[in-house]
């Protein structure tokens, strides 16, 4: 079974969204983890927009990448440039993937405009996660 780590800066939004969708699409074909190079707690708006798409990430925790140092990952996906640049070395044959998603936590404007940005990024990550599973996690 493949082990996949999603890494971002604070493990609060983008990596949490990606972990939720990767788990959804991969099912029992992969073990999915997420972490940050820092920990900021899971963003309540990330939980909300995932719940709106019938995915429950309310039990997720914000984890530091060092917590997973003993796991031999098959793939590491960085979802922001900061994490990609600061990504630690992982031993073994780890495939690295990178996509710089916008940070919805930095959205400004009315509450509706902020949620729209979260939904936009959620949908981008959903499409990426679906494609990733289809290409890299075989049945």
Domain residues for 87?
Answer: 2-136
pLDDT surpassing 80 at residue 87: no
Q: Which of 4, 8, 42, 76 is catalytic?
A: 8
User: Is 80 among the catalytic positions?
Assistant: yes
Which uninterrupted H or E stretch holds 32?
strand 30-36
Stretch (H or E) spanning 125 = helix 111-136
| Identified catalytic residue from 86, 87, 114, 124 | 87
**Strands, sheet with 2-8, edge to edge from the N-terminal-most edge strand:** 30-36, 2-8, 75-78, 95-98
Structural domain count, the chain: 1
Q: Is 13 a catalytic residue?
A: no
Q: What is the CATH number of the domain that holds 113?
A: 3.40.50.2300
Among candidate residues 17, 57, 80, 129, the one labeled active-site is 80
User: What percentage of residues in the chain have a pLDDT greater than 70?
Assistant: 97
How confident is the model over 28-56, as pLDDT tens digits? 999 999 999 899 999 999 999 999 999 99
């Amino acid at each position: 079974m493949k082990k996949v780590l999603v890494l971002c800066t604070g493990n609060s939004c983008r990596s949490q969204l990606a972990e939720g969708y990767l788990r959804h699409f991969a099912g029992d074909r992969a073990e999915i983890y997420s972490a940050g190079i820092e920990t900021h707690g899971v963003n309540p708006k990330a939980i909300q927009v995932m719940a709106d798409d019938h995915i429950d990430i309310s039990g997720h925790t914000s984890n530091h990448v060092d917590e997973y140092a003993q796991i031999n990952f098959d793939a590491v996906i960085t979802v922001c440039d900061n994490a990609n640049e600061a990504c630690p070395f992982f031993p073994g044959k780890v495939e690295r993937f990178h996509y710089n998603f916008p940070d919805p936590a930095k959205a400004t404007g009315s509450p509706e405009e902020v949620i729209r940005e979260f939904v936009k990024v959620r949908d981008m990550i959903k499409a990426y996660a679906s494609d990733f599973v289809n290409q890299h996690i075989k049945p």
